[in-house]
Structure 1
Amino acid sequence: MRLHRLTVTAFGPFGTTQEIDFDALSSAGLFLLHGPTGAGKTSVLDAVCYGLYGAVPGARQSPGTSLRSDHAPADLPTEVGLELTVGGRRLEITRSPAQPRPKKKGSGFTTEKAQSRLREYDPIDGWRPLSRSHQEIGEEITQLIGMSREQFCQVVLLPQGDFARFLRADAEARGRLLGRLFDTHRFAAVEDRLAELRRSAETRVRAGDERVLAAAQRIAQAAGPAARESPLPDLQPGEPGLAESVLGWAATARSGARERLDIAACLLAMAEGRQSAARQALDSERELAALQQRYEETRRRAAALEAGRPDRDRHHERLARARKADLVAPALDLREAAERAYRTACRARDRARAVLPGTLTDAGAEQLAELERRLRQELGGLDAAQRAERRSARIDTERAGLERQARADDELIREADAWLADWESTRDGLRAGIEAAQEAATRAEQLAGRLEPARARLDAARRRDSLAAQVSAAAERLATAREHAAAAHESWLELRERRLRDIAAELAAELVDGEDCKVCGSPDHPRPARAADGHVDKAAEDRALDTHRRAEEARTRADRELGVVREQHTAARAAARSAVPQPRDGAGADPTGTGPEADPTVAELGALVDRLTSMHAEAHRTATGMHAAREALAAAEREQAERLDGRQTAERRAAARTSLREGLDREQAALEAELKNARGDFGSVAEHAALLERRVALLAEAAEAVRAEETAAQRRKEADDRLADAAFRAGFDTPQAAAEALLDDAAQRELQRLSDAWQSEAAAVADRLAETETRAAAVRPQAAVEAAQTAYDTAERSLRDASVALSAARERCAELGRLSRGAADEARRLGPLREEYDRVARLAGLTAGTSADNERKMRLESYVLAARLEQVAAAATARLQRMSSGRYTLVHSDARSGGRRAGLGLHVVDAWTGRERDTATLSGGETFFASLALALGLADVVTDEAGGVRLDTLFIDEGFGSLDDQTLDEVLDVLDSLRERDRSVGIVSHVGDLRRRIPAQLEVVKERQGSAVRHRTEGEVSG
């Protein structure tokens, strides 16, 4: 990677644009970057880092800090441009941080977002853009360079102070630095992962132990008395042999439970024998009691049977007569049906005859039918007349509709004529409204163009008045600061002169008997000077000097503040005096009465703004009615066309109605002649036809009723004959007797049931009276059932208790077996977990350096870093030997010291003594070139680690002031050797001797308006 050109604008201490030509500086191979303290030497390196990575090194990127220069004008944006070659590609990176900028409209500032641009140079097409994305540019640069920002700052911008601390640091501090550079966090992640796996495995093992103990507790609960005889041992999770102890104790508990199961089985067999004997005795007594009760019950049933014999005979006789009457039942039903039909027909005949004329009251069915046929023929002749009458009614309806249409069309024509008469004036009024709205829109646009500048002048006038007070206050503060600075300067000069007058007494205070005087060199001090009254010592002079400097700084700040406030006041005054553009018609002219050279007051500008605002609002309100006016004109034009068309249509409809009305009049006259004959004495043909239809219907109904009555009378006579014949054949004297003997099915079934029940009961009683066992039991003593039941209950309780005890013992044995199998399963699952824990714990202890197998107590990350440190020490030794004339060699040490872990020790071998000692024993100068050699060696190793990216430009920051001339020459020779294969090295230092030794220089000059850079080469100076 080679840097070509760096351009910084308003960055850090640089208030303007500064350009650094690294190609010119690098042509000599070695160049010097120098300048006074605080000028901005480190800011050049910060700009290089910011251009590459979009951030500056270390704490300078802390929150709340700004990269923008305080010396830069408000309108000059902060920007860093870096041109470099990396990976065979020439690139240009331009970055701007987030920064405030003046608003484009109005006063104040707004925040501009950070921006980045990346371009690449093509020999044919020139510069072509690649990306404007922060993320894409960052990924591209990091991939090309092969280093992160931290690695770049440690390798390319060599911070000597960090490596001096690195030489004296302990293993932990070295580990943190090397870990950042070589990215060994993955090995630390391995340590953490193994530690996590160990904790996880330990958790699983402990959980397995707890599950085994929980199973043991459940076994103890299930074992009951066996657990009390052999209690569970007091075990804790994690104890060795826990699973074996639990399984052995569970086997003992299962053995005790099986013994109790055998005892419970024996007790149950004995209880079953006693219960069986008591059961047999109880059954014998119950059987005897049942036989005795059966005999008594049979005797009671026989007596009740004899008492019910008369009722049984009556039921039997009644059932026989009912079954005979069932033969007459169909004839009875037929007679009743015929009687009901005859009565219904008589009532219908009477109703039909009641509505007929008196002459037809006794008419027969044939006479009524003949009269009905004559009326139907007359009704048929009226059908055509009815159709003609309906058509005449429709003609009347049509003529009424024509009259309504005629009235509506006449009204429409009158309205259209009245509206069209005012059409011209209406159209002119609407067009005038549109023109007025258009003029108002033009006027509103002109007023809006004048309103914004007027408001800007008003704001500027307010800022002008506010800043005028600030200018006065700043001028007063500057005058006060100048007075204080002059007084402090005079006080310091006075104290300095007084101290110089009495400097002999101050030197005399340092004299020691027997030691040479610093002035005369004599060891004798016969008459040392004495301090006079009011002597001023160096501390008082320094305090006065500090007071003078602070007062001078305060004066400078006050002067700068006054200049800033005056510039702001001048700008606000100029903005307030700017002229407001006038409209072409002169409306809203500037009321301030001031020209561009006068200062208008805030009240005058406020009145102007209010007037313009009012005029603009009025014009805007008028202009907003343009759309409505245009819509109204379009609607009026549409209505005018619609009214013209409607009037023409109405006129055409009137002509058509005239011819239609004449045709209807002719048709209705012909129909009236036809209807006159058909109506007769009735009001209409329909009325005549309706009367005939009612008469036909009455005659037809009466004829049908007469015929139905005659038919029903014949059927009733036939039913009477059949009923008399059926009653005689069934053995009844009259049909009335047969009807009285009838019973329904339910009554007959009930009589049959009662008869059958008495017969069944008689048979059952006879069978029971014939039983020999029942008669024998009746003569025996009364059965003792209660005593036998009490004995049986006692035996049953004993059996139930024994059975429950046996079931409990069996369940306990089964539960103990199941729980023991579960405990055995948990123990088997615990075995692999313990093996995994032991393996992971050994690995975790080994990588963490806590295992006994790790003799040096070296962590895995420290082991990897130790290998890297060994490479760095070897690379640094190649340059350290040259810087120290072959005296010193850096070696890596993995020995333990002070009980700490080993791995990252760094020693120096002194060839003059042949002994190895700690790097903390080096002197200041030795520490510098040792740290420089270490930094250069680390740069080589990190470069190789990053993929071998060539670094053609390096920077070394400070530390050269601690070297003597000879060592400085040797160090410069080593740095000069870095120029091999076109490599350049920049030294950042303010050591004056380096300016004489290094011709190519970049000087950073501190000025009032901000720092600036100057290029110096042999014999010439360029700005």
Structure 2
Amino acid sequence: MRPLTLIIKAFGPYANESVIDFSPFGRSGLFLISGDTGAGKTTIFDAISFALFGQPSGQNREPAMMRSKYADPSVPTEVHLSFEHRGLTYQIRRNPEYERPSLRGGGTTLQRAEAELTKPGGRVVTKNRDVNEAVQDILGIDRNQFSQIAMIAQGDFMKLLVADTEDRMRIFRQIFRTDQYNRLQELLKRKSSELTRERDLLDSAISVHIKSIHCDFDSPFNDQVQLAHSLALPLEEVISLLEKMNKTITNELNDRKTKVSSIQKNLDLVNSTLTTAQSFESLKQEILLESAAFEKAKEAHATAKSNYNKAKQSEKEIKLLENKIAIQADLLTQYELREKKRTAYSDAFSELEKAKKQLESDHNHEKVLLGEKDAIQSESAQLKQIVENVEALTQASNECQNSLQLIDALETRHAQLIKTLTEKVRAQSDYQKAQDMSDAADSEYHRLNKTFLAEQAGILAQTLKEKSPCPVCGSTTHPNPANSTPDAPTQDELESSQMVAKKKSELARSLSASAKEWAGRESEVRKDFDSKLEEVRSALAIPLDRGVEDILNHDLPVFRLNLNANIDAYRKSIHEDRSRQKRIQELDKLLDNKTSSLDAIRGKIAEISNVVSLKSGELKVAKSRIEEMNQQLVHPTISDARDELVRIKSRAEALSKALIQAQNVLEQTKSFLDTKKGTLEQLHSQLSAAPTYDLKALTDDATKLREQKTFFENRLSQVITQLKINEDAYTHLKEKHSMRQILDEQYTRVLSLSQTANGNLRGKEKIMLETYVQMHYFDRIIHRANTRLMIMTGGQYELARRTEATNNRSQSGLELDVIDHYNGSSRSVKTLSGGESFKASLALALGLSDEIQASAGGIRLDAMFVDEGFGSLDEDSLQQAIKILDELSQGERLVGIISHVSELKTRIDKQLIITKSRSGGSIARIVT
């Protein structure tokens, strides 16, 4: 990757747009980036890194921090980078996320981060994530690798030089992506811890099951069980002990079951005898109760017989009531007929009254309609008298409108005429200027041509050489060649002057044609204007002595004002007349409706009058018939007649119901009395055959047997529970024993792997798997670094990775020593002086850069930046460092040194100088 052009705007200390063109530095060699402290030297690389990856180069810089504090709020923060990679050119633009002024209203708004990459074929990639992925695909490296390869940053390579194993491990993890080995280490460590926890949990479960083993105090196994509870017995012996105990408990369980069964048989026999004796005692009590119930049944039967005899006497009254019911039911038909006639009379009377009211209402409606009809006829006659001629008003309004259109057309043509005149004058002026320039160029050409012809001898003399023949005379000696004046034109200058004269002449001809064209347009537009002016004069009767200016500036505005006023008046009159005509039409239609309504109401009045007359006659006949029926019927209403019928029926039903109920009670008491008598006789018969029993002795025997049974059942339950607990413990312990064997095998294997990968083997160097892989990279880096360090130190120093750990307690494998070939010693790199440390760290950083490029698939960047550190070098060391960097830049690589060391300005010709502006911000300029 080689930067071609970098454009920075409102970025870091660069307040305004700064354009940095790297092409003057060529394709290889060294160039210096110098300037005051804080001017923005490192910002150049920050901008390149931000353009490519959306992040500055430093670890402590965020994109949002790159907004320039010196920039005007309206200037956007963005970076444009044009770069070349593998012979192809790419364009990339980015801006960070920052607060900017709102485009509408006050306040600020958040400017979102944006990115845009243009590939050589013209395809554009947008969105930050897509652009980042595309750049990484193009370069083959990510931002961290780019920062290590292309930018040897200020102080970073010194950190790498003096870092211990753990610090170098973190640095190499980020650069060479060895975190996958670290993840494997953590996975093994985590798996080892998980297996340890599983073993602990399994041991806890085994302990719980062992402590759950139940054993009686007087058991022969009690001592061994106590040892097991204290976890003093091996698991295999505990399982064997449980197996023996469970067999013994099972035998005891069977004996207890046999004993309980024998006691239960004896208890069943005693309970059966006791139940029989208790049943005969209950029989005596039942006879006493039944005797009392029999006496009460006799009394109830006597009372029921007396009540039945009294109810039997109401049979005659029931028959009389039944006859009255039949007579009253026949009369109900006459009552119903009278009610219907009364209802019909009432309905007919209501209809007659309603018809009379409707007749009165229709007469009133007729009077209202007559009044409304007269009012409509009066209003219509008045409106017809004042309606004017709408067509005449419309025609007058249209004539005024046409006159206004003529005025508009004349004013439009006058504006076109003014515009055309202006363009004609401009075209003529342009032509005159071009013609003057053409004449001047032609005169200059003729002057140069004249001078050129006059100086041909002197020009020819300049080409003559001794012993070479003259192209004119052929002589090989030239004793007196002609001289030429210093300002004599050359052939190229003469041809250039001729070309200028020709172009200016062509321009003059072109502008002449344009001026003629505008003159022709002006004539046509003027004719059109004059024609329209005469049309307006005729239409508006404008006197012929009125000038054009008077007409346009005075007459036409007055005419326009008057015409608009007339049009408004005509439109108002037309609107009013049309409204009146519409009202007349509405009144005519309304008059027709009122006439139709009058005809309809008069017909209705005649119809209702006939109905009133007919209904009056029918009512007289109906009233006479109702009065006759009133004289024949006793009750005034059918409701009263029905109430009387209900009263008679209720009395008859009550008497009948009382008789039936008395008969039922008599029969029920007789049946109950017979039942009690039979039950009492049966109980006496059973009691006469009963033997004699000793209830107290039987009860005592049953109590003793139940107590024995309870005692043995409780013991049996304890034995069952003990056996169940111990059998569960036996099953679980056998299962857990198998699981423990499998888990121990896994734990041993994983622990060994974890200790090996994490460098925790006892008595061994603490080298982790990731560190071991990084040692391979570190050896390659050291090898590459030594090729340059030996040159910079005159063969004195050589870097070497420490192969023996200082102790076996801390991590090792990435410590760095330096071999001093002058005295044959080896010591820590931390003992080097400031200048020696810079050389070693520079060599190490360059070696790291080479290794990263190699490990990234042979990626080669065509540009590199080295930031500061040269101030600690003496003259010879500085010369050696520059020599190394110069060799690094050979071929197709450009190396930029970021430094404020003044000696470098005299050693490096190509420079990018950064200066601070007094008004704020920085400015970059290139010196070659």
- Find the counterpart in structure 1 of residue 150 from structure 2: 156
**TM-superposition CA deviations, 1:141-160 (whole Å, max 9, x none):** 34433433333222211136
Contact 1:395 1:664 in 2 (8 A): no
Match of 2:625 among 679, 692, 704: 692
Q: Are the counterparts in 1 of residues 31 and 912 from structure 2 also a CA contact under 8 Å? A: yes
- In the other structure, the counterpart of 1:345 is 326
CA distance in 2, matches of 1:22, 1:665: 115
Deviation at 1:111, TM superposition (A): 5.6
What residue number does 2:19 align with?
19
1:945 equivalent in alignment to 2:855: yes
Give the structure 2 partner of residue 176 of structure 1.
170
Could you tell me how far 1:880 is from its partner in structure 2?
A: 3.4
Seen in structure 2, the aligned counterparts of structure 1 residues 263 and 686 have a Cα distance that, compared at 3 Å, is same
Deviation string, structure 1 residues 717-757 (Cα, Å, up to 9, x no partner): xxxxxxxxxxxxxxxxxxxxxx9999835534643564466
Give me the whole-angstrom Cα distance separating, in 1, the residues matched to 2:825 and 2:53. Answer: 45
Whether the 8 Å CA contact 1:388–1:671 is kept in 2: the answer is no
For 1:301 and 1:1003, the matched residues in 2 are separated by 134
**1:866 and 2:775 aligned:** yes
1:323-342 alignment runs, 5 A limit = 339-342=320-323
Note if contact 2:2-2:85 (Cα within 8 Å) is conserved in structure 1.
Answer: yes
2:116·2:125 contact (CA, 8 Å) conserved in 1?
yes
1:957 paired with 2:867, answer: yes
**C-alpha displacement of 1:259:** 6.4
Task: Quickly say closer, same or farther: Cα 1:917–1:299, change in 2 above 3 A.
Answer: closer
Q: In the TM superposition, what is the alpha-carbon distance from 1:954 to its structure 2 partner?
A: 0.4
* Structure 1 residue 977 displacement after superposition: 3.0
Q: Which residue of 2 aligns with 1:136?
A: 130
One-letter amino acid of the structure 2 residue matched with residue 397 of structure 1: Q
Matched, 1:656 2:596: yes
Change in CA separation of 1:121 and 1:743 when aligned onto 2, cut-off 3 Å:
closer
Distance 1:1005 1:268, change over 3 A: same
Counterpart among 199, 214, 217 of residue 208 in structure 2: 214
CA distance in 1, matches of 2:898, 2:289: 140
Q: Which residue matches 1:34?
A: 34
Counterparts of 1:206 and 1:667, CA distance in 2: 115
Alignment CA distance shift 1:114-1:225 (3 Å): farther
2:805 corresponds in structure 1 to 896
**Distance in 1 (alpha carbons) for counterparts of 2:35 and 2:350:** 130
Distance 1:743 1:50 in 2: 119
Which residue of structure 1 aligns with residue 435 of structure 2?
A: none
Tell me what 2:766 maps to: 857
Shift of 1:982: 1.2
Please tell me the residue identity of whatever aligns with 2:194.
Answer: S
Q: Which residue of 2 aligns with 1:362?
A: none
State whether residues 298 and 768 of structure 1, in contact with CA within 8 Å, keep that contact through their aligned partners in structure 2. no
Q: Give 1:240-255 correspondences, 5 Å limit.
A: 243-244=235-236, 247=239, 250-251=242-243, 254=246
Is 1:751 the counterpart of 2:670? The answer is yes
Look up the match of 1:470. none
Cα deviation 1:224-250 (Å, max 9, x = unaligned): 8769655555879xx998754654564
Give the C-alpha shift of residue 972 in structure 1: 3.5
Query: SS of 1:197's equivalent?
Result: helix
- Counterpart contact for 1:232–1:249, Cα < 8 Å: no
The 8 Å contact of residues 791 and 880 in structure 2, kept in 1 or not, is answered as: yes
Aligned to 2:838: 928
Compute the displacement of 1:341 (Å): 3.3
Superimposed CA distance per residue, residues 338-395 of structure 1 (whole angstroms, 9 cap, x where no aligned partner)? 6543232345678999x99xxxxxxxxxxxxxxx9xxx9xx9xxx9xx9999799658
Cα gap change, 1:398/1:52 in structure 2, threshold over 3 Å: closer, same or farther? farther
Aligned to 2:894: 984
- Percent of aligned positions with the same letter in both sequences? 23
> Could you tell me whether the CA contact under 8 Å between 1:872 and 1:937 is conserved in 2?
yes
Kindly indicate whether the alpha-carbon contact (under 8 Å) linking 2:377 and 2:591 is maintained by their aligned counterparts in 1.
no
Q: Which residue of 1 aligns with 2:412?
A: none
Whether the 8 Å CA contact 2:192–2:754 is kept in 1: the answer is yes
Whether contact under 8 Å (1:41, 1:988) holds in the other structure is yes
Distance in 2, Cα, partners of 1:61 & 1:196: 35
TM-score, normalization: structure 1? 0.57
Counterpart secondary structure, 1:744: helix
Question: Do the aligned partners of 2:355 and 2:608 also contact (CA within 8 Å) in 1?
Answer: no
Amino acid of the structure 2 residue aligned with 1:655: T
Q: Distance in 1 between matches of 2:353 and 2:266?
A: 118
Aligned in 2, Cα 1:117/1:812: closer, same or farther, shift over 3 Å? closer
Give the distance between the partners of 2:47 and 2:287, measured in 1 at CA.
133
1:113 match: 111
CA 1:641–1:957: 2 relative to 1, 3 Å: farther
Aligned residue number for residue 7 of structure 1: 7
Give unmatched runs, 5+ long, in structure 1.
357-371, 425-635, 706-738, 1018-1023
- Tell whether the 8 Å contact from 2:781 to 2:847 is kept in structure 1 after alignment: yes
Cα–Cα, structure 1 residues 109 and 260, in superposed 2: closer, same or farther, change >3 Å? Answer: same
Q: What whole-Å deviation, never above 9, does each CA across 1:617-641 have from its counterpart, x for those lacking one?
A: xxxxxxxxxxxxxxxxxxx999999
CA RMSD of aligned residues (A): 5.5
Contact 2:818 2:828 in 1 (8 A): yes
Q: How does 1:235-634 map to 2 (within 5 A)?
A: 243-244=235-236, 247=239, 250-251=242-243, 254=246, 257-258=249-250, 261=253, 264-265=256-257, 268=260, 272=262, 339-347=320-328, 394=355, 397=358, 400-401=361-362, 403-404=364-365, 407=368
Question: For residue 994 of structure 1, what is the aligned residue in structure 2?
Answer: 904
User: Conserved in 1, the CA contact under 8 Å of 2:117 and 2:124?
Assistant: yes
Contact 1:254 1:813 in 2 (8 A): yes
| Structure 1 residues 247 and 1016, CA gap change in structure 2 (3 angstroms) | same
3-state DSSP class of the match of 1:58?
coil
Letter matched to residue 1014 of structure 1: R
> Residue by residue, what CA displacement relative to the aligned partner does 1:18-58 show, whole Å, maximum 9, x if unpaired?
32222221334222222344443223222322333333333
Change (3 A) 1:922 1:652: same
Shift of 1:816: 2.3
Distance 1:16 1:352, change over 3 A: closer
8 A contact 2:784–2:850 mirrored in 1:
yes
Helix, strand or coil at the partner of 1:840: helix
Change (3 A) 1:262 1:1013: same
| Contact 1:34/1:1002 (8 A) holds in 2 | yes
Query: Within 2, Cα distance between the matches of 1:163 and 1:249?
Result: 71
CA contact (8 A) 1:13 1:1011 kept: yes
| Superposition deviation, residue 952 in structure 1 | 0.5
Distance 2:790 2:225 in 1: 78
Cα distance change of structure 1 residues 165 and 787 upon mapping to structure 2, 3 Å threshold: same
Name the structure 1 match of 2:927.
1016
Deviations 1:292-345 (A, max 9, x none): 998x9999999x89x99x989x99xx99xx9xx9xxx9xx99998765432323
Q: CA deviation at 1:4?
A: 0.6
Quickly say closer, same or farther: Cα 1:99–1:807, change in 2 above 3 A.
closer
Cα deviation, residue 655, structure 1: 0.7
